[in-house]
């Protein structure tokens, strides 16, 4: 038969018959038309060592195009000229693909997790350590698919720094250090398996910086901060405003301008309009039981029909005025936190505690803080699935604040 006589039109027009049949394209390539309608490329040849006839499947049309089938046929012809059996080459090629798959960071990590389970069973590590080390990578590294699907041979510390930069910018010193430590252990495991010659990540460290514009304090001092707020002789509204901001993770201005019309107490939802948000994007805040309790307390101490939750009590004759955005900052300064903590610093404290809890994905925490990446569309940002998870996050955070505060405000 003439070489290369098949065309895409001819192949598409090949009819199904009662039995399988084959049409040649010439030069050892043919297509098998099966009675079920599938069309399979075939390559026929004589095995170099035995001279016995053999055939290989090159895949199904149209997934493998006519041009691709001919290209594969020509590749196999070259192998035969060099005395290589394409069947063996194909096996070696598949074996190489499997090896490359095993070298991916994500697969080595899960193998390392299984190895750690053995250490757990032997009593060499605790359940807490095992869970903490696994979750820190799952929550902060595996979410970066481009990174973890690379071979460990290709990865360098700069790759991880690129993806951990948001945490570095937020000065999550302890969290970043622990991620680096566990990544180093995974690469040490890869080294012991022979996947890498040496561990480039053994002493992995990334410097973090502390913002000078928004003073904050270490999360460990939160109980003392809350005690100081409770003991300070400020108005009840000011203290409730501070707690409300802390519990909802919003910015000082967003808390101070909260409107009753935007709050659904039955559904425990506060919808902040775009024009009230720094990022100019509507932000939905799931309200914890502690936040709801504060709102109920504010209803009890606020005259009816006021537009804002936290009113300006100097102008009780004007129901459209809210408290100053600097109210909590002023209280913190007078309570002894000048140049140490500002109201915005509550968000940094909360972010660190939530990240270090290892209970929530970093993306979920960032969304809860209204740190919206321009690539996250609104449908993802406020959809039902994320909202359910954010209710869980806010509930956990509300319980945490209540447990460490041990004060009468809540």
**What is the per-residue pLDDT across 82-108, written as a single tens digit (0 to 9) for each?**
888 888 776 555 666 677 788 899 999
3-state secondary structure of 208: coil
Under 8 Å between Cβ of 395 and 359: no
Q: Would residue 251 show up in a list of annotated catalytic residues for this protein?
A: yes
The catalytic position among 134, 239, 251, 297 is 251
The verdict on 224 and 365 lying in the same domain is yes
- Any domain includes 198: no
28: left (phi > 0), else alpha (psi -120 to 50), else beta?
A: left
Distance CA 123, CA 118 (A): 9
**What is the per-residue pLDDT across 233-258, written as a single tens digit (0 to 9) for each?**
999 999 999 999 999 999 999 999 99
Distance CA 230, CA 18 (A): 86
95: left (phi > 0), else alpha (psi -120 to 50), else beta?
A: alpha
The catalytic position among 344, 386, 390, 400 is 344
Task: Quote the pTM value.
Answer: 0.52
CATH code, domain with 21: 3.30.160.390
- Any domain includes 3: no
- Any domain includes 166: yes
> Does the pLDDT value for residue 390 go beyond 70?
yes
Q: Would residue 381 show up in a list of annotated catalytic residues for this protein?
A: yes
- Which residue, of 66, 81, 101, is where some domain finishes? 101
The verdict on 92 and 118 lying in the same domain is no
Q: Would residue 15 show up in a list of annotated catalytic residues for this protein?
A: no
Under 8 Å between Cβ of 239 and 230: yes
**What is the per-residue pLDDT across 167-225, written as a single tens digit (0 to 9) for each?**
888 878 778 888 888 998 999 999 888 888 888 887 666 655 444 456 788 888 999 99
The catalytic position among 34, 144, 319, 371 is 371
Task: At 250, list the tokens.
Answer: 């919003």
What's the total number of domains in the chain?
A: 3
The verdict on 224 and 334 lying in the same domain is yes
Task: At 219, list the tokens.
Answer: 């999360």
Distance CA 295, CA 247 (A): 12
**What is the per-residue pLDDT across 296-346, written as a single tens digit (0 to 9) for each?**
999 999 988 899 999 998 877 778 889 999 999 999 999 999 989 998 889
Q: Would residue 185 show up in a list of annotated catalytic residues for this protein?
A: no
Task: At 47, list the tokens.
Answer: 């095995």
The verdict on 225 and 361 lying in the same domain is yes
Residue 348 to residues 172, 229, 250, 316: CA-CA distances in angstroms?
Answer: 9, 18, 11, 34
Greatest Cα-to-Cα distance within the chain, rounded to the nearest angstrom: 103
The verdict on 49 and 130 lying in the same domain is no
Mean pLDDT value of segment 4-8 = 82
Domain hosting residue 27, numbered range = 8-101
The catalytic position among 347, 386, 390, 400 is 347
The verdict on 224 and 277 lying in the same domain is yes
The catalytic position among 278, 299, 334, 338 is 278
| Burial class for 24, CB neighbours closer than 10 Å (0-12, 13-18, 19+) | middle
- Which residue, of 101, 132, 165, is where some domain finishes? 101
Q: Would residue 178 show up in a list of annotated catalytic residues for this protein?
A: no
């Amino acid at each position: 038969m003439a070489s290369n006589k098949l065309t895409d039109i001819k192949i598409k027009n090949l009819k199904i018959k009662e039995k399988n049949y084959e049409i040649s394209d010439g030069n050892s390539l043919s297509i098998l038309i099966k009675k079920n309608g599938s069309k399979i490329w075939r390559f026929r040849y004589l095995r170099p060592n035995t001279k016995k006839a053999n055939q290989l499947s090159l895949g199904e049309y149209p997934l493998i195009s006519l041009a691709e089938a001919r290209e594969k046929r020509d590749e196999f012809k070259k192998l035969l000229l060099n005395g290589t059996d394409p069947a063996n080459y194909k096996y070696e090629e598949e074996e190489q693909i499997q090896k490359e798959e095993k070298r991916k960071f994500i697969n080595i990590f899960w193998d390392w997790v299984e190895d750690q389970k053995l250490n757990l069973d032997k009593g060499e590590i605790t359940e807490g350590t095992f869970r903490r080390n696994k979750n820190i990578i799952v929550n902060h590294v595996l979410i970066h698919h481009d990174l973890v699907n690379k071979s460990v041979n290709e990865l360098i510390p700069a790759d991880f720094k690129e993806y951990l930069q948001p945490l570095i910018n937020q000065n999550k010193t302890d969290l970043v250090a622990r991620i680096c430590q566990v990544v180093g252990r995974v690469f040490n495991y890869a080294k012991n398996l022979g996947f890498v010659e040496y561990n480039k990540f053994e002493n992995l460290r990334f410097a973090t910086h502390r913002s000078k514009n928004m003073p904050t304090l270490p999360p460990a001092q939160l109980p003392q901060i809350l005690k100081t707020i409770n003991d300070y002789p400020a108005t009840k509204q000011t203290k409730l405003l501070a707690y409300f901001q802390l519990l909802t993770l919003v910015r000082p201005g967003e808390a101070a301008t909260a409107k009753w019309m935007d709050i659904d107490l039955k559904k425990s939802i506060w919808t902040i309009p775009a024009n009230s948000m720094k990022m100019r994007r509507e932000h939905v805040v799931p309200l914890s039981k502690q936040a709801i309790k504060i709102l109920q307390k504010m209803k009890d101490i606020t005259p009816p029909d006021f537009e804002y939750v936290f009113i300006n009590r100097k102008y009780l004759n004007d129901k459209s005025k809210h408290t100053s955005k600097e109210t909590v900052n002023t209280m913190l300064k007078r309570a002894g936190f000048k140049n140490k903590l500002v109201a915005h610093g509550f968000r940094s404290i909360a972010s660190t505690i939530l990240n270090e809890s290892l209970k929530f994905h970093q993306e979920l925490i960032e969304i809860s803080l209204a740190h919206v990446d321009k690539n996250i569309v609104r449908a993802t940002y406020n959809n039902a699935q994320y909202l359910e998870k954010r209710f869980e996050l806010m509930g956990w955070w509300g319980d945490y604040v209540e447990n460490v505060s041990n004060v009468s405000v809540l």
